[in-house]
Amino acid sequence: MSHAVTAPTLYGLMAEFETPTELVHAAKAAYAEGYREMDAYSPFPIEEASEAIGFHKSAVPLVVLTGGILGGLSGFGLQYWINVIAYPLNIGGKPYDSWPAFIVPTFEMTILFAGLVGMFGMFALNGLPQPYHPVFNVDRFSAVTRDKFFLCVEATDPKFDLVGTQQFMERLKPLSISEVPH
């Protein structure tokens, strides 16, 4: 750990934990301490961890809903335009706007758009793909995809102070504390 690194080039301080319970407790303690600019990292989703860092609601459901509505409208609109306006065909004397027959492709388009918009939307909200991120500068961090749990308090937090935050983290009894360089 090099203390020669000055604060502006620092991304944050990262504490490593052995269990999900310790991570959640640490995140709660950090939130209670007044830290807001932080993130918890884990090898699998832990609902309590994102609650603890104060992240409650994601926009993903709204994105999926929007995609679905768009898909449904464009699916029905496409069929209506084709079979009623652009290329009307008399099929067994059925009306041009035989809407019950259009339901199946409308439904499929709803699902298709909801799924695709949802996937791209989720990745976009997460800022992925992101080839570089400072947290990967910490060697021990590679265990986040395996069996270790990390809490990173970012240097942009107004309450962040290299010495003070480090002392706070030591009280959480982590396996290790690392400075995260940019």
Partner 1 sequence: MAGLEEKNLALLDEPPVLGPGQTFDSVTDTITDIVLKRPIGMGWLLGLAIGMGLLAILGMAVTYLFLRGVGIWGIDIPVAWGFAIINFVWWIGIGHAGTLISAILLLFKQTWRNSINRFAEAMTLFAVACAGMFPLLHMGRPWLGYWMFPYPNSMGVWPQFRSPLVWDVFAVSTYATISAVFWFVGLVPDFATMREAATNRWSRMVYGALSLGWRGSARHWTRYEALYILLAGISTPLVLSVHTVVSFDFAVAIMPGWHTTIFPPYFVAGAIYSGFAMVLVLAIPIRKYYGLEGMITMRHLQNSAKIMLATGLIVGYGYFFETFIALYSGSTYERFMIHNRWFGPYAAFYWSLILFNILTPQVLWVPKVRSNTAWLFVISLVVLVGMWLERFVIIVTSLHRDYLPSSWGHYVPTRWDWATYTGTIGLFTAAIFLFIRIMPAISIFEIRMLLPQAEVKE
DSSP one-letter code for 2: -
- Nearest-approach distance from CB 14 to partner 1, in angstroms: 12
Question: CB–CB of 140/18 below 8 Å?
Answer: no
- Nearest-approach distance from CB 9 to partner 1, in angstroms: 20
- Nearest-approach distance from CB 4 to partner 1, in angstroms: 26
Measured distance CA(119)–CA(112) in Å, rounded: 11
Question: CB–CB of 154/12 below 8 Å?
Answer: yes
Q: Spell 60-70 as b/e; 16+ CB within 10 A means b.
A: eeebbebbbee
Question: CB–CB of 180/39 below 8 Å?
Answer: no
Q: Is 161 in the site for partner 1 (CB under 8 A)?
A: no
User: 181 has which bridge partners?
Assistant: 10
Q: Which is nearer to partner 1, 18 or 170 (CB)?
A: 18
Q: Is 167 in the site for partner 1 (CB under 8 A)?
A: no
Give the CA dihedral 145, 147, 149, 152, nearest 10 degrees: -40
Contacts of partner 1 in 2-61 (CB under 8 A): 19-21, 24, 27, 39-50, 53, 55, 58-61
Contacts of partner 1 in 87-106 (CB under 8 A): 87, 89, 91, 94, 98, 101-102, 104-105
Q: Which amino acid is at 135?
A: V
What residues make contact with partner 1 under the rule CB under 8 A?
Answer: 19-21, 24, 27, 39-50, 53, 55, 58-61, 64, 68, 78-79, 82-83, 86-87, 89, 91, 94, 98, 101-102, 104-105, 107-109, 111-112, 114-116, 118-119, 121-123, 125-126, 128-133, 135-136, 141-147
